[in-house]
A and B are shown apart, each in its own frame.
Chain A
Amino acid sequence: GQNIDQPTEMTATEGAIVQINCTYQTSGFNGLFWYQQHAGEAPTFLSYNVLDGLEEKGRFSSFLSRSKGYSYLLLKELQMKDSASYLCAVRDRRSNDYKLSFGAGTTVTVRA
């Protein structure tokens, strides 16, 4: 099974940086994803890590340490539109199937 933990809420100022941490436990790790979900909308894919290290994509970066069961999503130069829930999701291999399990999400509020 999965055990994915991330903070419930974070608040930051426009233009600032916020780091959202995620820890997980799994027996068949096969990748970690970050999704953004605005209220009332579908989750949208932000990033993917399967090897240790940092993946950078514009204002968003994601880091993974498989040995520590740890990831973070870094949001730089925050904009008001970044106010959303950020979901850490771990893909777990079960036999020949792959299951994606989501953390409870971190609600980020960006203030002017």
Chain B
Amino acid sequence: DTEVTQTPKHLVMGMTNKKSLKCEQHMGHRAMYWYKQKAKKPPELMFVYSYEKLSINESVPSRFSPECPNSSLLNLHLHALQPEDSALYLCASSQGTGGRDEQYFGPGTRLTVT
């Protein structure tokens, strides 16, 4: 199983809503990542969890709150978002043990903030 799953696939939310994005992998990977990707732009790193601990936060606004309940799950809690936050949110995972450690990406959640 080399799959990273993300739910939901699409999400439309208002600026006052609270919602969560979910990501799951069963490859035994110990590093998990959230990226934001705008149209025709590269993915931009938001957060990295290593062994269930937040290791990198790329100065992301506090309206985005990550959570790693266990080694297989990664959540991104959203609150009071802005229209400019509309983007494709990608989750990825990797072994986290050095070496090649390539990242496997999920299909993403396409978020629209109205």
Contact = CB atoms under 8 A, between A and B. Distances in A.
B96 to A, nearest CB: 9
Contacts of A101: 45
Contact of A103 (B42, B55, B107): B42
Given A97-B50, A101-B45, A104-B42, A45 B90 contact: no
A48 B101 CA distance: 9
A46 to B, nearest CB: 9
Contacts of B44: 102
A97 B33 CA distance: 12
Contact of B103 (A41, A50, A100, A103): A100
Q: Indicate the size class of the contact surface on chain A.
A: 20 to 34
Given A97-B50, A97-B55, A45 B42 contact: no
Interface of A: 31, 33, 41-45, 48, 50, 87, 94, 96-105
B108 A42 contact: yes
Contacts, number: 43
| Interface SS of chain A | strand
Nearest to A107: B40
Contacts of A87: 42-43
Interface of B: 4, 33, 40-45, 48, 50, 55-56, 90, 100-108
B45 A100 contact: yes
Contact of B45 (A33, A45, A48, A99): A99
Specify which of A31, A41, A45, A87 lies most central, judged by the most chain B CB atoms within 10 Å of its CB: A45
B51 to A, nearest CB: 12
Most buried by A among B42, B50, B100, B101: B42
